[in-house]
Amino acid sequence: MTIGIRKKLASGFRDKLLFSSGIKLPETELNPYTLRFKDDEFETVFTKQHVDRDFPQSVVYMVVGIFAWLTYSILDFLVLSGDELFFVLIDRAIVITLLSILVLICFLPNIQGKIQWILSACMLISGTGIIAMTAYISEPFNHMYYAGLILVVLYSSNFLLMRFTYSLAVSAILYVSYMVIVTTVNPVPEWALISNTFFLTVTMCWTIWTRYWSDYYIRSDFAARHFLIKEKRRSEKLLEAAEAGNRAKSEFLAVMSHELRTPLNAIIGFSEMIQQRLFGPIGSDRYEGYVDDIAHSGRHLLGIINDILDLSKAESGKLVIQDAEVSMFGVIDEALRMAKGKAAEEGIHLAFDMPDKDIIVKMDLRLFKQVILNLVSNSIKFTDRGDSVIISLEQQPDGGCAFIVDDTGIGIAREDLERILDPFVQVESSISRERGGAGLGLPLVKKIAELHNAVIEIDSNPGVGTRVKFIFPAERVISRKASAVEQEVA
């Protein structure tokens, strides 16, 4: 029972994959009338692959067909004589010559794409040769030679690997031509006309029907294989992304252990020194520096934890912005005052290239201040002593506003620009550990940008520097006159 169910499920999956791949992938959808893929590019890929595969076989069968056509001349010698035999032999010679020319054409360069037209010409020439015989020879052979037309249709449609549409078109031309000949040019008896028409009609309909489904299955199989290949590639990319995520998390844990342990060691170490009164009573001035170090380490630790919590909220969709009309000059000045100490300590020149006019933007003040601090801290962290970090504002052509951080630091490789916006990712572990950082700043900036419908643009060159733009959309930029902040300043 279980085996039967499994077989049924497997068969159902195979059929669904084979016949429904066009639903899953739009480019594999078939036109049911022409059996062409609706996507021209995908049709070109299919045609090229099948031409490359079937072309040699088609040429071989063309040559075999010529010899078969020549062999049938034995029948001519057995049943015909006089002028009729001469006409039929001339007919066969012309057909063989034309077919041979078509075979030679197949050896021309870049002719593979025309193979269906060549095969159609082969079928049309062969069939026309038979019809010409029925138009000239007398009874009873004029209504017996139609059997050759059936052989031409069967051979061309099944061995020459003609496509359904080409086979249908040529078969229709031959059918109509034959009916015209046997009813007007060289009429056959009524009983022969009925018999020949019946067998020829059934043969052509059956051949066209089988050719249709043969083409359909070939194309469905190609679409299914394309689907499997595409899914395999997608699975490989997902696996690669999952492995990269695991590696990133491992790197994150290694960096985070360092980032958390460093301030904790400072807090614990200085606290123990004060607790043990190593330099005398608590009132000693020397302890004041240790208290400052403890406070600094605590704030640093709190900043890391806040980044983790905010990123976690953003990832889960729980980080909500509280919009307010904010002066860009004001929030930048406030954030830079917090970052100047670190810049001075690292020997970095930090400056704000202030434009002529302030810009009022509707934003979450706390979160955007965090954006400024993260971007500026990142630039300071990866900029060498003596270099500079410049902040600027830029009005966008569409009315938006860009907050820009330029540095002359180590830069980022082009292939890493998108990856650094993913959580837990740092480009170079050795540099990250040497210069600090948990790999949370840019991912958090990206999430905050998304909450504001803003855009992050990063342009960087290794050894030259990095430019990061945080671009507010036009709907968040408010005119100065409408701003309460500006009115107070005025």
Q: What is the spatial distance between Cα 279 and Cα 234, in angstroms, rounded to a whole number?
A: 64
H or E stretch at 403: strand 401-407
Please determine, for residue 438, whether its predicted confidence score (pLDDT) is greater than 60.
no
CA 80 to chain centre: 65
Mean pLDDT of 290-302: 69
Residue 118's pLDDT is what? 92
Dump the DSSP string for 164-229. Answer: HHHHHHHHHHHHHHHHHIIIIIS---HHHHHHHHHHHHHHHHHHHHHHHHHHHHHHHHHHHHHHHH
Average pLDDT of the chain, as a whole number: 80
Mean pLDDT of 157-168: 84
Please determine, for residue 422, whether its predicted confidence score (pLDDT) is greater than 80.
no
Residue 250's pLDDT is what? 67
Q: How far separated are the first and last CA of the chain, in Å rounded?
A: 86
Amino acid at 77: F
Percentage of the chain modeled with pLDDT above 90: 22
From 135, 218, 219, select the one nearest 183 (Cα to Cα): 135
Please determine, for residue 319, whether its predicted confidence score (pLDDT) is greater than 60.
yes
Tokens read off for 202: 């059934």
What angle do the packed helices 286-316 and 190-275 form, to 10 degrees? Answer: 160
Residue 453's pLDDT is what? 92
Please tell me the number of Cα atoms within 13 Å of 249 on its side-chain side: 5
Q: What is the spatial distance between Cα 157 and Cα 126, in angstroms, rounded to a whole number?
A: 13
Q: What is the spatial distance between Cα 375 and Cα 336, in angstroms, rounded to a whole number?
A: 11
Residue 259's pLDDT is what? 64
Residue 113 banded pLDDT, cuts 50, 70, 90: confident
Q: How many C-beta neighbours within 10 Å does residue 39 have?
A: 16
* Most confident option among 13-17, 96-100, 446-450: 96-100
Q: What is the pLDDT of residues 378-413, one digit of tens each?
A: 888 888 888 889 999 998 888 899 999 999 888 887
In the three-class reduction of DSSP (H, G, I as helix; E, B as strand; rest coil), residue 387 is classed as coil
Higher pLDDT, 7 or 454: 454
Higher pLDDT, 163 or 303: 163
Task: Kindly list the strands in the beta sheet with 455-461, ordered across the sheet, starting from the edge strand earlier in the chain.
Answer: 349-353, 388-395, 401-407, 465-472, 455-461
Residue 420's pLDDT is what? 74
Residue 9's pLDDT is what? 38
Q: Among positive and negative, which fits the CA dihedral 57, 62, 67, 73?
A: positive
Q: What is the pLDDT of residues 362-375, one digit of tens each?
A: 999 988 988 998 89
Question: Which range (196-210, 330-344, 423-437, 453-467) has the least confidence?
Answer: 423-437
User: β-strands 349-353, 388-395: how paired?
Assistant: parallel
Q: What is the pTM of this model?
A: 0.52
Helices (H), 276-364: 286-316, 328-346
Q: What is the pLDDT of residues 200-216, one digit of tens each?
A: 999 999 988 988 898 88
Please determine, for residue 54, whether its predicted confidence score (pLDDT) is greater than 80.
yes
Please determine, for residue 4, whether its predicted confidence score (pLDDT) is greater than 50.
no
Higher pLDDT, 337 or 271: 337
Dump the DSSP string for 236-299. Answer: HHHHHHHHHHHHHHHHHHHHHHHHHHHHHHHHHHHHHHHHTTTTSSTT-THHHHHHHHHHHHHH
Residue 285's pLDDT is what? 64
Tokens read off for 130: 């038979």
Residue 389's pLDDT is what? 92
Residue 288 banded pLDDT, cuts 50, 70, 90: low
